Amino acid sequence: MSMPALEPASPGTTPARQRGLRRVVSAFRDAHGVSKAVVWVGAAITAAFILLAIFAPVIAPYDFDTYRTADGVRFEKQEAPSAQHPFGTNVMQTDVLSRVIFGSRTAIEVVALALVVSLAIGLPLGLLSGYHGGPLDRGLVLVMDALIAFPSLLFAIVIAFLLSDTFGRGVVTAALAISIVYIPQYFRVVRNHVISVREEPFVEAARAIGAPPRTVIRRYVFQNVVQNVPVIATLNAADAILTLAALGFLGYGIQPTQAAEWGYDIKRAISDAGAGIWWTGLYPGLAIVLLVTGLTLLGEGLNDVLNPVIRRRKTEPVRFPPRPGNEGTP
């Protein structure tokens, strides 16, 4: 058997604790075949980028805006990869490798902050809207649908532009601009799921024991809705990376003085490409592709193993033993 015997043989004898977010962990374990590979590859790539982000100052040879050595010697402009600069330098005279590494920090920071903000707003609104229904629900659905109908990149640009006066043009502005794009998605997913959970008898039972709406939502509805969130959050994170890069590329993203950002670097590398300077654009581009692929694989894989509709657990093929009487019996 290729399966480790982590799961108890019979759920009747040993309580199988697989509730809420704990299910995510067990899902990794139960995954098999293609979805197992997909989840693990996605998780590995994502984890690698998170490590890069956390330890960027240790790993990167220079800071993201360093343009000279400690002795004050300026870096060559657009220098080809060498021992000193493994990925070369770019038009801003900074080290491409360092900018790619610090860029992952920016990306992870922005996406994490955007996720937290959009979850913090979208999730409660979805819960309230779905549970209470009525005019509140109709109003919120109308607003959220209008937000979804708006082209998301254009929307993010407008928000970034509006917020830049207050928060400057750093990580916070970018994160807020992106989060507003994703709030409606969380709202919609959570609301629709709440509407189906709301009809479950255990929700009515909770009301029947005298639980106030707050308690019903928190203890009975939320716990059973939250399981979908990791999947959509991961998939949205992948999308958010692209939106962040697009903002940077168009010049509405993070200021180059604030942090390293892949989209901005690619924009600055456009003219290099014609001159045969391939390293300035290739590495930030590769970073985007890798991280987005990693997150998408992780999200799709999670969906495969978490979603009960398409979830398939590894099953042993049935092999019939010889009939008793035909040959030797046990």
Using CB under 8 A, list all residues that contact other proteins: 3, 7, 9-12, 15-17, 19-20, 30, 200-202, 204-212, 215, 219-220, 223-224, 313-318, 320, 323-324
Residue type, 139: G
Closer by beta carbon to other proteins, 73 or else 209: 209
Closer by beta carbon to other proteins, 68 or else 314: 314
Question: Minimum distance from CB of 30 to other proteins (Å)?
Answer: 8
Enumerate the β-bridge partners of residue 74.
Answer: 68
- Whether the CB-CB separation of 84 and 94 falls below 8 Å is answered with no
182-209 CB burial, b ≥16 within 10 A, e <16: bbbbbbbbbbebbeebbeeeebeebeee
Question: Minimum distance from CB of 3 to other proteins (Å)?
Answer: 6
Quote the CA–CA distance of 189 and 147 in Å, as a whole number: 15
The interaxial angle of helices 279-306 and 33-54, nearest 10 deg, is 130
- Whether the CB-CB separation of 253 and 160 falls below 8 Å is answered with yes
Closer by beta carbon to other proteins, 217 or else 259: 217
Question: Minimum distance from CB of 191 to other proteins (Å)?
Answer: 18
Question: Minimum distance from CB of 29 to other proteins (Å)?
Answer: 11
Quote the CA–CA distance of 318 and 180 in Å, as a whole number: 51
Closer by beta carbon to other proteins, 86 or else 133: 133
Question: Minimum distance from CB of 206 to other proteins (Å)?
Answer: 7
Question: Minimum distance from CB of 211 to other proteins (Å)?
Answer: 5
User: Could you tell me which of 316, 123, 297 has the C-alpha nearest to residue 222?
Assistant: 123
- Whether the CB-CB separation of 53 and 105 falls below 8 Å is answered with yes
89-111 CB burial, b ≥16 within 10 A, e <16: bbebbbbbbbbbbbbbbbbbbbb
Closer by beta carbon to other proteins, 82 or else 215: 215
- Whether the CB-CB separation of 314 and 305 falls below 8 Å is answered with no
Question: Minimum distance from CB of 244 to other proteins (Å)?
Answer: 35
Closer by beta carbon to other proteins, 72 or else 317: 317
Closer by beta carbon to other proteins, 3 or else 286: 3
Closer by beta carbon to other proteins, 11 or else 168: 11
Closer by beta carbon to other proteins, 317 or else 328: 317
For every residue of 91-140, DSSP letters joined together read TTS-BHHHHHHHHHHHHHHHHHHHHHHHHHHHHHHHHHHHHH-HHHHHHH
- Whether the CB-CB separation of 98 and 61 falls below 8 Å is answered with yes
Question: Minimum distance from CB of 216 to other proteins (Å)?
Answer: 10
Question: Minimum distance from CB of 226 to other proteins (Å)?
Answer: 9
State residue 89 phi and psi, 5-degree precision.
-120, 165
Cβ atoms < 10 Å from Cβ of 27: 22
